[in-house]
Amino acid sequence: MHIVVPIKQVPDTAKVKLDPETGTMIRSETDAVMNPLDLYAVETAIRLKEQYGGKITVLSMGPSSAHRTLKEALAMGCDEGVLLSDKAFAGADTWATSYALSTAIRESVPYDLIITGERATDGDTGQVGPGIAAWLNIPVATYVARIENFDGTRFTLARLTEEGYERLSVPLPCLLTVVKEIAIPRLPTLKGIKRARASEISIRGKDAFPFRDEYLGLRGSPTRVVKIETPQVSRKGEVLVIKTEEDLEKAAEEFVRFLEERALI
């Protein structure tokens, strides 16, 4: 089985600062990490490989620094890394991104299964996974929480919904987006790190595949980010000051009334 895992390099959310003037993120290369939710896709792929054999290709689109993220996936146990990196890809929205990734997948590799994370922690759209499936015209199962069975040609899956779980039977080839519940990502081992260091990431530009130029990058993107704003949280808190026993009584009564008015008790 050949599994392709598209992953994304995102800013380390612990270190992200917003530029108060422009409302955009202040990025620095050293603070970039693998999208934390992609770790679950990588882990799922590795477990499937361990059980059924095969090979895993990790694929990313981004600046050349994103090769570090691909190496991280190799260190965990993936076999091959491909990075789409070209100025022509820059500024792509989810439509253009899923176009570019799906083209690379279709043209470069015979694939059986594509696994993505639920969404990226920077854009937060969750559209690229299903987008790739649409471009490739294959079935997609989103929010997969469990793989219950695999008979060599079909998966039986439990899909997380707001009400509970939905059981699906999905044939290969297909695309799954997985949620955290599916597995706990493994720690990379020293052996894995050394293997990853020794392996080459193949970097491909816009001429590597038969892309339609007008679908690429900012030019090919039907949507634009016009403005990013930090939402203003305005809570109207009421402070009850307690200095004496009487205050305590009063405050307790007031608090109970507050809860009762809102039918909370």
Kindly list the residues in this chain that would bind another protein in the complex (CB under 8 A): 12, 14, 30, 33, 36, 75, 184, 187-194, 242-243, 248
- Judged by beta carbon, residue 60 or residue 103, the one nearer another protein is 60
CB of residue 109 vs another protein: minimum separation in angstroms?
28
Tokens of 260: 């009762």
Amino acid of residue 79: D
Distance CA 43, CA 49 (A): 10
Q: What residue spans of 17-162 are helical by DSSP H?
A: 38-52, 67-76, 94-108, 128-136
The residues with which 56 forms a beta bridge, in sequence order, are 3
- Judged by beta carbon, residue 117 or residue 192, the one nearer another protein is 192
- Judged by beta carbon, residue 184 or residue 228, the one nearer another protein is 184
Tell whether the torsion through CA atoms of 148, 34, 211 and 1 is positive or negative. negative
Distance CA 13, CA 263 (A): 37
Tokens of 202: 């193949």
CB of residue 190 vs another protein: minimum separation in angstroms?
4
- Judged by beta carbon, residue 69 or residue 102, the one nearer another protein is 69
- Judged by beta carbon, residue 126 or residue 192, the one nearer another protein is 192
CB of residue 184 vs another protein: minimum separation in angstroms?
5
Query: Token pair 């530029």 is at which residue?
Result: 19
CB of residue 103 vs another protein: minimum separation in angstroms?
30
CB of residue 54 vs another protein: minimum separation in angstroms?
23
Distance CA 2, CA 198 (A): 22
Ramachandran region of residue 209, left (φ > 0), alpha (ψ -120 to 50) or beta? Answer: beta
